[in-house]
Amino acid sequence: MIRESRPTASVRLDGLKVLVGAYEQEMSLGHDSLARGRLDEAFAHFERAHILGQRRTLLHTRSHLAMLRVGWLRRDWREITGQLGRIVAATLLSRLWVPTGNTGGANVSAFKRMPVPEDLRHILDDLR
């Protein structure tokens, strides 16, 4: 009988390092955009970070905190209230269930699965 092989612990650890590196890159780009006053660009980077980090409680929560900051700077009350609820959910539910590909903004349902951008898909696939 042929058994499907599962990734070894070292392969999964390497995949996690790649994921965290890509997440931190998106967060850094987002904060750089914030510093330049490019709020839409910053938010887009935080959404990409959210897609990458949503299964890791701390990363997931950090991405929502960054989106909250953008909402605050925009004085967008819908985004602010949406992010406050998502921050609570991220801290409690990240390890249990997340809708794959969801960008995390208040403009989409917190329960909606969305397509993962092609350039991020391989990073997430390496962890499954």
pLDDT at position 126, please?
A: 72
d(C-alpha 91, C-alpha 109), whole Å: 18
Q: Which two tokens stand for residue 86?
A: 């998502």
Closest CA to 83 of 55, 42, 50: 50
pLDDT at position 11, please?
A: 60
pLDDT at position 95, please?
A: 87
Q: State pTM to two decimals.
A: 0.88
Only one residue has tokens 């985004």, namely 79
Low-confidence spans in the chain with pLDDT less than 50: 1
pLDDT at position 70, please?
A: 98
pLDDT at position 6, please?
A: 57
pLDDT at position 125, please?
A: 86
